[in-house]
Amino acid sequence: MTRRIFITLEYDGGPFCGWQRQKTGLSVQQVLEEAAASLTGQQIMVQGAGRTDAGVHATGQVAHLDVPDKFDANRVMEALNSLTNPHPITILGAREVDPETHARFTAVGRRYLYRILPRRQPPALDFGRVWHHRAPLNVDAMQDGAAHLIGRHDFTSFRATHCQADSPVRTLDELRVETVGAEIHIHAAARSFLHHQIRNITGTLALVGSGKWTANDVAAALAACDRSAAGPTAPPEGLYLTEVRYPVGS
């Protein structure tokens, strides 16, 4: 008999090759699976809700793992926090769920944050955790550009050329740009996202914020359905997976 445990975790993506196991490089998934194996004495798969890329961080990633019945959620959380040390991964919470509930496929929404530091001087304390954009950016102009992307669209222009999703159509429920202290934050929410979608959107909105593009240029890039029509891919270090939502009661 096994229990299915959902864990909520945060991690600094800087030292990792991404969430997913790779033939070369250390991944978040590998660290967790090795910790779970040490705990249980068995090979355990840890399934994440989002496959974050190398350098991308998380404050609200969710994953599940099936463990022998003698391990309850609290024991799993405490053990994983001990066994993943000194890697920058922390299990924030754990709960038992129905065996049919899946961290990735049961999710009904995901939320991301992208942090930009628009100043000439580089960050010291937040190095590797924000996009250091050396020129100032107009937040209002960026929000005007973002407005063209909210809703259901073909996002071919804003997905990676090697994206493996069956369809480029996604519904963007929220795309909000705001100033927070010295930083600019971009909040994005949808049921699911395409590969590099948020980073490509961010790189495009930065063109608008710097005055190189207008908001109408964003609309034209979207309509082109061609990756080369949109802006550059923003770097990974500013991106955070902040929340994964599930149906009530799951």
Q: Are 225 and 156 in contact (CB under 8 A)?
A: yes
Q: Which residue has the tokens 């090697």?
A: 162
Local structure of residue 64 (DSSP, 8 states): E
Local structure of residue 233 (DSSP, 8 states): P
Distance, in Å, from the CA atom of 237 to the CA atom of 159, rounded to the nearest integer, reads 18
Distance, in Å, from the CA atom of 216 to the CA atom of 213, rounded to the nearest integer, reads 8
Of 12, 53, 126, 140, the active-site residue reads 53
Per the annotation, the verdict on 53 as an active-site residue is yes
The packing angle between helices 28-40 and 73-83, to 10°, is: 120
Q: Are strands 57-68 and 239-245 parallel, antiparallel or unpaired?
A: parallel
Write out the catalytic residue numbers: 53
